[in-house]
Chain A
Amino acid sequence: MRSWISAAVVGVVLALLPFAVGSYILGLLVFGFYYAVFAMSWDLLFGFAGEVNFGPSFLIGVGAYAAALLNHYFNTPIPLCLVAAAVAAVVAGLILAVPALRLTGPYFGLITLVAVLLLQTFIVLYSGITGGEIGLDLPDVFANGEVRANYWIALAFMSISGAILFGLSRSAVGLILQASGQDRIEAAALGYNVTKHKLAAFCISALFSGLAGAMLIFSQGTASVGLVVDIAVGVQAIIGAVLGGRRTIFGAAIGAIFLVAAQELLRPLGQLSIFVVSAFALLVILFFPGGFLGAVGALGGVLGRSAR
């Protein structure tokens, strides 16, 4: 309950933000919000189903490029593009996960990593169609590029995705998923089809990742490998999720937004900014393995004890 209330308060503050800050910060937060959805989708799979997906940008990229190609070549309206993106990401996810989930241990992660490289190579090889490294221009942009509207669309999307993913993680299905992630033999002995549940988690993760990828490109008006497919995109989502706190969903969002913001604030440092942010992330992961939310929880416990 407390999580819901805190989230609602933060949501209201964020919704009112465009009246207080300029378009530069809003533009930055748009990025942050879509990354937050990447990270939350990833946390459902890692934190709950116990599977490490090293290639979230495979799902993000498939969704984004499905939408981009339709919009670029056929002028398909944005809502239809988004539906296509979601379907494409889930289908691609299934094609990847059905064989991969038969393997155990690190192999699942390795397969997801290879999938990103394949997708990236594919896009670069067929650059005549996909725009290759340069990317594709999109005829349509959210709200014709109006900054505030673009911001609210991103915020609304993140809030709804977050609510659904968090609710799911706390539901009966989330409980079965956690049991499957922790001990698949015991979960199976209780009568649960572990593969089915993990596959479902993967599809849900794919759905939100693909949708968020497509939304991101329509907020920017362009689709490129560097924006939605590159390994670095996935790595940033993963670091955000771990930084914010594993198995918390909301923590993943906080971590991802923090990372995007920190990199931008440190931009004057040039290449050094990536180093500083990475070093900070490393320190948090080393000393607070529970991430931001874990650290807050521990601090709350200490304060609670000393107040008594």
Chain B
Amino acid sequence: MANLLEVEGLTKRFGGLVAVKDVSFGIPPGEILGLIGPNGSGKSTVMKLIMGIERPNAGAVRLDGTDVAGWPTHRIARAGVGLVFQHSRPLHRQTVLENIKLALLPDSLTRLFAGTDIENRTREIAARVGLSKVMDRLPSTLPFADLRRMELAKAIARNPKVVLVDEPFAGLTSAEVRDFSELIASFRAEGHAVLLVDHNVKSVAALVDRVFAMYLGERVAVGTADEVMRDETVRRVYLGGAIETATRPERDFQGRPPLLQVEDVSVFYGKAQALERVSLHVGEGEFVSVVGLNGAGKTTLFNAISGLVPYAGTVRFATEPLRGRTAAQIARGGVVQCPESRELFGEMSVRENLDLGGQHLPRDQAEERLAWLLDLFPILNARARQAARTLSGGEQQMLAIARALMMQPRLLILDEPTLGLAPVILEQLSKALERLRQTHDTTVLLGEQNVTFALPHADRVYVLEHARIVWEGDPARFAQEAGTGYL
């Protein structure tokens, strides 16, 4: 059968960087193709080129035979391409129903009022994705999974020939993943062509018919999920070397007061308890990991320590209570948080971001520190003049960590550094952290969902589950004592 979507020789350059290089693939009706690749591989750019958000430098995007490459987004959308965004940005003052209705309206300046047919169709679609019960609520009151459902509903509403889904399962629980898989499979059953864009084969393997793997803007493998997973190049791209765990000299924390002491800290968001009497401590020079699933309360804990949310209980830093100090005072006092959202200055260059972090240091010290950090993260040296927003996700994370280190923290808090990063990047990041731990005395408190990433570096591990600390101990004991119940 003729392909509904046919991509041929697609190429995109950003300045000197070739983000997508001669990519070709086709999707017939009723097929799901997985487009996978680590961060920075160009898969998101391919998606944007198909949707017309970026214009290709060369190549064709044929939709049911018509070349739409270079068309403006709204015309491509009307020609029959729908995009399910990874992050939803709903209209906040409109209900869920109105948000879905938005997708059904004609692109007309004269049709002022939507007919009852549109109203009915909206309800039908809301029911199909499982939003019937919350149709009249505002998006801000919905849990994450329901917001994703809403995005899916908007795509269904346009009834596109080709559906592009950006990271379909990011941040969802396994039950939610099952629901979403069914919904996406229903696109296939109805004869749509579906393109799933994701970091790794594993998360989409059960759903896709074929996989197209990319790395550095180029095709590295095409085939069934199994074939691609067995592919030698793919394995090298994704697995790299095994994560090396290195033990370092034992340090004695006994007898000295801990650098950070959290006692009985509780935090409420309205009625919801986000932290329940959490106590933990971090010794000077220690590397402590707090592991827990998304929503367990890791970020809340770090925000309480950094003075960003009000809490009950005590937080002491170097024996001084932190209550009553502003977030800026706490940061200047040496508690530097590297938030999961990274908070880089996107328009500034890599070098400027780093210089900002070292602003308070004397010049020679700042230079010395910068040299050390560029040695620790060589990629930042290569990218020094680039605007921070043009970096890939992994590079941005390294820049965020480096900038935090420029501030000469006594305690570095890393919140979920692996968020959205592909395995090959994780490994680079992991190696950099290990070198940091081996060569430097910075005290680190790491919050992670990814246990494989969090364990090798840690001197001690806490497990946070549903707002409480449920386990504390040695990383070596984690697997047998807490590992089975973790997921």
Contact = CB atoms under 8 A, between A and B. Distances in A.
Contact of B158 (A171, A185, A186, A190): A190
B382 interface: no
Contacts of A185: 53, 73
Contact of A186 (B72, B89, B93): B89
Given A172-B111, A247-B93, A189 B105 contact: no
A183 B74 CA distance: 13
Contacts of B114: 172
A41 interface: no
Nearest to A193: B74
A148 interface: no
A189 B112 contact: no
B77 A173 contact: no
Contact of B77 (A171, A178, A190): A190
B183 to A, nearest CB: 18
Interface in B38-53: 51-53
Interface residues of B, number: 30
Interface stretch (A60-68, A121-129, A150-158, A194-202): A194-202
Contacts of A172: 105, 111-114
Contacts of B82: 189
Contacts of B74: 187-189, 191-194
B102 A175 contact: yes
A182 interface: yes
Contacts of A192: 74, 77, 105, 107
A90 to B, nearest CB: 14
A260 interface: no
A70 to B, nearest CB: 29
A39 to B, nearest CB: 20
B91 A189 contact: no
Contacts of B52: 188
A106 to B, nearest CB: 13
A254 interface: no
A83 interface: no
Interface of B: 51-53, 72-75, 77-78, 82-83, 85, 89, 91, 93-94, 98, 101-103, 105, 107-109, 111-114, 154, 158
Which 4 A-B residue pairs are closest in the complex by CB-CB distance?
A188-B73, A191-B77, A171-B112, A191-B78
25 contacts: A167-B112, A172-B114, A173-B112, A175-B91, A175-B94, A176-B105, A178-B91, A182-B91, A185-B53, A186-B85, A186-B89, A188-B72, A189-B82, A189-B83, A189-B85, A191-B77, A191-B107, A191-B158, A193-B72, A193-B74, A194-B74, A196-B107, A197-B109, A200-B109, A247-B93
